[in-house]
Amino acid sequence: MSVYVALWDCPTCSHVGNLGPHTNCAACGSPRPKKVHFYLPENPIIVENEEEIAKSLAGADWICGHCTAHNKAWETICRACANPRSEDSEDVTIEEKEYEEGEVPVTGKVKRELNANELAHVREKAAPSSKRFLWLFPIIAIAIFALLFFWKRDGEVSVAAFEWERETEMLHNEIVQKETWDLPSEAMNVSSFQAIHHYNKVFVRNETRYRTVQVPAGTERYACGKVSKGNGYFRTKYCTRTIYKNKQEPYQQAIYMDVPVYSKKYRYSIWEWVKKEPIRASGKNQSPEWAKPSVDDMNKWKEGDKKAKYWVIVKDNEEKLHKEEIKFELWQKMKKNDKLPALVQGVTGTYKGLNLKE
């Protein structure tokens, strides 16, 4: 256990840092206030002297109800007015206070008067200055630049040319080899064999394993804060807590095995429509058509899904060409030299895309 010397501040003359055990202000001689606030500075004096340690633990100081003088615990009559200490009178014992670590007060309640130098510094900081908002100008400049950069307005382009591309998926009817669990009625050349259908988890045995658990193993005392003794000293505060130790604890782990389950699987041939390379047609005009299959035996071929893309090539006011994909319904109604609404950059007028209402 350690004992520390506390400090207190004088509210009468604002003197800071009176030694805790002193019952009168070192500057003005006033007695400690009735509700004295003891605190511990960052590097407090540690009491080493056995006699002083004993005094610090003797108990809290008491304040005389007749004259408000502060007296030590072992004093039985007031040192100022000589009235005896009494439980019936207005005598007050200063309270002990417990603090958690980190909550021990480190300053007094009296604010120190600022000296002339410090006062000047504070005034300078608070003074308004025209330079305070200078940092805003680059931010405003960047914001205006960004607004102009992203600003788009309505413009106009003219239709210069058309393009299209059409694609047809081709399917070929052919015999394919297959393996399945269920046999379709159109299957040919059927054979069967045993194959693994799935696995079953089967219990084999229980195995004893060990895991680490924490069990209580008694208690320990540790420093958990400080106690203000009510006499100008603080001492270490102690708390107790449970300590734990690791223990190996056995448990049963079930062990399983994967056992394959066999079933009858079929191998067979079957006629199927199989996807082949699609056929494509494209052009730079406004007369789209679907590609014609160039195969002899149309019994063995058929057409599948169809896809198409249509583009309009527009000319902007800087004579630059832009290729835009659009819907067929709009595309087929357009004519060369038609004017189309577009979006252009607000400042430079550069083309940024079509603005068609659908």
**Which residues make up the interface to Zn ion (CB under 5 A)?**
10, 12-13, 15, 25, 27-28, 30, 64, 66-67, 69, 78, 80-81
CB of 110 to Zn ion, least distance (A): 9
Give the count of alpha carbons within 13 A of 215, CB side only. Answer: 8
Closest CB to Zn ion among 13 and 161?
13
CB of 91 to Zn ion, least distance (A): 9
* Residues contacting 328, CB < 8 A, separation 6+: 308, 310
Closest CB to Zn ion among 67 and 356?
67
Quick one: which of 72, 81, 61, 70 has its CA closest to 32? 70
CB of 75 to Zn ion, least distance (A): 10
CB of 52 to Zn ion, least distance (A): 24
Outline where 197-249 has alpha helix (H). none
What's CA 341's distance to the chain center, in Å? Answer: 46
Q: Residue 74 is which amino acid?
A: W
* Residues contacting 278, CB < 8 A, separation 6+: 167, 168, 169, 170, 304
Identify the three-state secondary structure at position 36.
Answer: coil
Quick one: which of 252, 248, 224, 228 has its CA closest to 238? 224
Cα–Cα–Cα angle for 75, 69, 62, rounded to 5 degrees: 50
CB of 18 to Zn ion, least distance (A): 8
Closest CB to Zn ion among 3 and 78?
78
CB of 26 to Zn ion, least distance (A): 8
Helices and strands in the chain, H and E counts: 4, 14
The answer to whether the beta carbons of residues 281 and 166 sit under 8 Å apart is yes
Closest CB to Zn ion among 12 and 200?
12
Closest CB to Zn ion among 15 and 237?
15
CB of 104 to Zn ion, least distance (A): 24
Cα–Cα–Cα angle for 82, 86, 92, rounded to 5 degrees: 95
Residue 177 token pair: 């080899």
Closest CB to Zn ion among 70 and 229?
70
